[in-house]
Amino acid sequence: MATMHAVKDAVSAEAETAFAVRVDGLDVTFGEGETAVTALRDVNVDIPEGALVTMLGPSGCGKSTLLRAIADLVPASRGEIKVHERTPEEARKARDFAFVFQDATLLPWRSAIDNVRLPLEVGNPGPAHADPMELLELVGLKGREKALPGELSGGMRQRVAIARALVTRPRILLMDEPFGALDEIARDNLNEELLRIWTETGTTILFVTHSIPEAVFLGQKVLLLAAHPGRVKEYMTVDLPYPRQLPVRDTVEFIKITAHLRKMLEEC
Amino acid sequence: MADIAQSQASANERKSGSAWLAKSGDRLLPLLAAVGMLVLWQLIIWIFSIRPFIMPGPIAVLGAFIEDGPKLWLNFWLTFLEAALGFIFGNLIAILMAVAFVHNRTSERAFFPIAVFINTIPIIAVAPILVLIFGNGYSPKIIIAALICFFPTLVNMVRGLKAVNPATLDLMRVLSASDAEIFWKVRLQSSLPFLFAALKIAATTCVVGAIVAEWIGSNYGLGALILLASYNYHAPLLYASVFSASLLAVFLFAMVSFAERRMIKWKTPAVH
Ligand SMILES: Nc1ncnc2c1ncn2[C@@H]1O[C@H](COP(=O)(O)OP(=O)(O)O)[C@@H](O)[C@H]1O
Ligand SMILES: [Mg+2]
Per-residue pLDDT of chain B (272 residues; tens, 9 = 90+): 444 444 444 555 555 556 666 666 678 888 899 899 999 998 998 898 888 778 888 888 888 888 888 988 999 999 999 999 999 999 999 999 999 999 888 998 998 898 888 888 888 888 888 888 888 888 989 999 999 999 999 999 999 999 999 999 999 999 999 999 999 999 999 999 999 999 999 999 999 999 998 988 788 899 999 998 888 888 888 999 999 999 999 999 999 999 999 999 887 655 54
Q: Which positions in chain A touch B167 (Cβ < 8 Å)?
A: 101-103, 105
User: What is the C-alpha separation between A84 and A22, in angstroms, rounded?
Assistant: 8
DSSP for A192-217, written as a single string: HHHHHHHHHH--EEEEE-S-HHHHHH
Query: What phi and psi values does residue A176 have, to the nearest 5 degrees?
Result: -105, 100
pLDDT score, position A246: 92
pLDDT score, position B265: 83
* Contact indicator for A149, A160 with CB cutoff of 8 Å: yes
DSSP state of B184: I
- Does position A120 have pLDDT exceeding 60, yes or no? yes
pLDDT score, position B6: 47
Q: Is A256 helix (H, G, I), strand (E, B) or coil?
A: helix
Average pLDDT over residues A2-15: 50
User: What is the C-alpha separation between B80 and B207, in angstroms, rounded?
Assistant: 8
Residues in chain B: 272
Residue of B nearest to A170 (CA): B175
The set of residues, in sequence order, having a beta carbon less than 8 Å from that of A266 and lying 6+ positions away, is none
Identify which has the larger pLDDT, B248 or A126. Answer: B248
Interface test with B, best of A96, A107, A146, A164 (most B CBs within 10 A): A107
Q: Do B189 and A109 touch (CB under 8 A)?
A: yes
Q: Whose CA is nearest to atom 1 of ligand 1?
A: A30
* Contact indicator for A122, B181 with CB cutoff of 8 Å: yes
Distance from CA of B264 to the nearest CA of A (A): 8
pLDDT score, position A4: 52
Interface test with B, best of A65, A87, A90, A105 (most B CBs within 10 A): A105
Q: Whose CA is nearest to atom 6 of ligand 1?
A: A30
pLDDT score, position B1: 42
Residue A111 CA, chain-centre distance (Å), reads 25
Query: Is ligand 1 within 6 A of the CB of residue A209?
Result: no
* Contact indicator for A226, A233 with CB cutoff of 8 Å: yes
Rg over CA atoms, chain B? 25
The set of residues, in sequence order, having a beta carbon less than 8 Å from that of A168 and lying 6+ positions away, is A95, A98, A119, A120, A125, A126, A128, A129, A130
Interface test with A, best of B262, B266, B271 (most A CBs within 10 A): B266
Q: Probe ligand 1: pick from A55, A65, A207, max atoms within 8 Å of CB?
A: A65
Q: Is B90 helix (H, G, I), strand (E, B) or coil?
A: helix
Residue B232, Cβ density class (10 Å: 0-12 exposed, 13-18 middle, ≥19 buried): exposed
The ligand placed nearest to the CA atom of residue A74 is 1
Q: Out of A68, A107, A123, name the one closest to residue B176 (CB).
A: A123
Query: What phi and psi values does residue A35 have, to the nearest 5 degrees?
Result: -90, 5
Distance from CA of B266 to the nearest CA of A (A): 5
Q: Is A52 helix (H, G, I), strand (E, B) or coil?
A: strand
First to last CA, chain B: 51
Query: What phi and psi values does residue B195 have, to the nearest 5 degrees?
Result: -60, -45
User: What is the C-alpha separation between B65 and A80, in angstroms, rounded?
Assistant: 80
pLDDT score, position B23: 65
Listed range (A14-23, A246-255, B127-136) with the worst mean pLDDT: A14-23
Average pLDDT, chain A: 91
Residue B41 CA, chain-centre distance (Å), reads 27
Listed range (A17-31, A132-146, B120-134, B231-245) with the worst mean pLDDT: B120-134
Q: Do A122 and B177 touch (CB under 8 A)?
A: yes
Average pLDDT over residues A132-141: 92
Strand partners, A98: A173
The proportion of chain A whose per-residue pLDDT surpasses 70, expressed as a percent, equals: 94
Ligand 1: atom nearest CA of A177 is 21
Q: Do A107 and B178 touch (CB under 8 A)?
A: no
* The pairing of beta strand A52-56 with beta strand A221-226: parallel
Q: What does the CA dihedral B35, B39, B41, B45 come to, rounded to 10 degrees? A: 160
Distance from CA of B262 to the nearest CA of A (A): 12
* Contact indicator for B163, B194 with CB cutoff of 8 Å: yes
Over residues A79-104, the pLDDT tens digits come to 999 999 999 999 999 999 999 999 99
* The pairing of beta strand A231-237 with beta strand A221-226: antiparallel
pLDDT score, position B14: 52
Q: Which positions in chain B touch A95 (Cβ < 8 Å)?
A: 175-176
Residue A247: other Cβ atoms inside 10 A: 8
CA distances, B203 to each of A179, B57, B254 (Å)? 44, 29, 9
Q: Probe ligand 1: pick from A27, A34, A38, A64, max atoms within 8 Å of CB?
A: A64
| Range B142-171 burial, b when 16+ CB lie within 10 A, else e | bbbbbbbbbbbbbbbbbbbbeebbeebbbb
* Contact indicator for B146, B86 with CB cutoff of 8 Å: yes
- Does position A128 have pLDDT exceeding 90, yes or no? no
Query: Is ligand 1 within 6 A of the CB of residue A37?
Result: yes
Q: Whose CA is nearest to atom 12 of ligand 1?
A: A39
Identify which has the larger pLDDT, A41 or B19. Answer: A41
Q: Do A73 and B265 touch (CB under 8 A)?
A: no
